[in-house]
Amino acid sequence: MSAPIDDIAEVLAAELRGARRVAFLTGAGLSAESGLPTYRGVGGLYNGMTREEGRPIEEILSGEVFAREPALTWKYLLEIERACRGAEPNLAHQLIAALDAQCEVWVITQNVDGLHQRAGSQRVIELHGRLRELICTGCTQGPEVSSFDELSLPPRCAACGAVLRPMVVLFGEMLPVADLARYERELAKGFDVMFAVGTTAGFPYIHDPVVAAGRRGTTTVEINPDETSLSQRVQHRMACGAVPALRAIAARLGLSAGRT
C-alpha cells in the first residue's frame, strides 16, 4: 500500500495527466498546515477533551444543547472562530486549485474555514458548512458581522430577536440537504482519481465513497501522516502531510501555486 513519496508522486502524476475529473475529500489535516489545530468535524478542535463545564465538547457543540443553552455553545464556537481567524491558504490548498488548469477538480471538504475558495478552487462542496456565515434561527436573515468579537452571548437578530448561529453542522445535526445532494450528483458522475487528504475518514459519507470508487476501478489515494480507516482500503497511500505530498505531485506536472 505505502511506498516512497517520490515513487507514488510519479505514478499519480501519470494518472492525473490523463484524468478528466478528480475529487479531493479534505479534512482538518489539510488546514493544519495553515496553522489551524486539527479537529473532528466542527467541535473536535478539543480532540475529545472535557471542558470546565464537565461536559464533553461534542455535547456542548451539539444541536440539542444549542437549542437549550445557546450561550454555552456560542462560547466555544467563538473559540473555534478565533483559532481560525487570520489563517491563510497553504501551499496544498493552492496546488489543488492550480490542478483545475489541467482537469475538472471537485473539492468536498469537512472544513468550515473557507480556505479552499480563498486559494482559488471553483468547485467546492462544504459538507459541514461555513463558520463565518451567520443566519437567524427565527426569520432566517443572514446578518453581516464584521467581527465575531462584537457578538454578545448568544448573539441575537436585530430584526426579530431570535438567536443567531453560524452556518455549520453541529453534532447530531443532518448535513445540508443541498450540499449533500450536490455531492451525490457528482459522485454518480464518477471520478478518475479520488484523494482523501488530511481526514480521518470517520464519517461514512467520506469513507464509503472512496472505498466504492476503488472497487469500480477509480484510482484512490490517501494523504495523511496517520493511519486511518482508509489506509488499507486505498490504492496509494502517502504517509505525510498534504504540502509535501501535493508539492511532489505538482512538480511532476509542472504546476505551481497561483497558476490557473
Amino acid at 40: R
Q: Which residues have C-beta within 8 Å of that of residue 51, sequence separation ≥ 6?
A: 57, 60, 76
Residues 179 and 106: their CA atoms lie apart, in Å, by 13
**Which residue out of 93, 116, 128, 236 is catalytically annotated?**
128
How far is the C-alpha of 205 from the C-alpha of 229, rounded, in Å?
Answer: 13
128 is known as an active-site residue: yes
Q: Is the CB of residue 198 less than 8 Å from the CB of residue 30?
A: yes
Query: 185 has which bridge partners?
Result: none
Task: Give the integer Cα–Cα distance in Å for 194 and 204.
Answer: 16
Rounded Cα distance, 250 and 100, in Å: 12
| Cell output for 84 | 481560525
CB-based contacts of 138, cutoff 8 Å, min separation 6: 157, 160, 161, 162, 163
CA distances (Å), 101 to each of 86, 97, 105, 197, in order?
28, 8, 9, 20
Write out the catalytic residue numbers. Answer: 128
